[in-house]
Amino acid sequence: MPQRRIRLVIAYDGTDYCGWQIQPNGITIEEVLNGVLTKLTGEDIHVIGASRTDSGVHALGNVAVFDTASSIPPERMAYALNQRLPKDIVIVRSDEVPAGWHPRYRDVVIKTYEYHIYNAPVQNPLKRRTSTHISFPLNVEKMREGAKYLIGEHDFASFCNVRTSVKDTVRTVTELRIDSDGPEIIMRITGNGFLYNMVRIIAGTLIRVGRGFYEPEKVKEILEAKERTGAGVTAPPNGLVLVEIDYGE
């Protein structure tokens, strides 16, 4: 069989993993996929991922590709992998893409994340792996007001981890919505790219707005300062979910 490039859409509970990318100090999503694919195909497989999610971060729609000469039909690859993967990693679908198709370097790459908060005096044990518990009351309306300042094209240097090596910190946020249903608060953000820890720093900043430590207008000041020290803390990873990557196809 000739080599083919297979695309996977992957969902996972990231709680028990040290993120996506292979590293020496713990098991990762990439490592598990490589191992299962290598056993399944008999080839030395190395997947290329679209988003290198951090330790503890979840996904419903991360994307990866790999090259194989396997005779397994591309659309059946998901089924074959799901029989072998641990239950906290699932292949949502699989298909064949052109040989040069790369999940990170495309003309259109729109990502959507959600940050989940459980806002109640005590944590719901059923939500502890997939949401961040905030015991103090949050003013969702003020959080929404603060979020409006972040929509559009801006320099998000204030909302980027200082350890990043990225020189261009301008990004475009097309949607930033905050929904609430009882104690559950979901911040949904869509954009053309996100800096390292950007979504979690935005979440941490809006949580401070919700608690009354910042007025909503403070978000605009933080954004314009282009200085990480002004923003809120980086919110915990367990509340973050990579929901979807849209390639405009």
Whether 44 is catalytic is no
Q: CA angle, corner 241, sides to 189 and 204, nearest 5?
A: 65
Closest CA to 68 of 91, 34, 27, 21: 34
Look up tokens 């204030």; give the residue: 158
Integer Cα distance of 142 and 216 in angstroms: 6
**What does the block give as tokens for 221?**
């000041």
Closest CA to 4 of 34, 40, 35, 45: 45
The radius of gyration of the chain from alpha carbons, rounded to an integer in Å, stands at 19
Count of C-beta atoms within a 10 Å radius of residue 109: 18
Of the candidates 54, 168, 179, 246, the residue annotated as catalytic is 54
Count of C-beta atoms within a 10 Å radius of residue 42: 10
Q: In the chain, which residue ranges form alpha helices assigned H by DSSP?
A: 29-41, 77-82, 140-147, 198-211, 217-225
Catalytic residues: 54
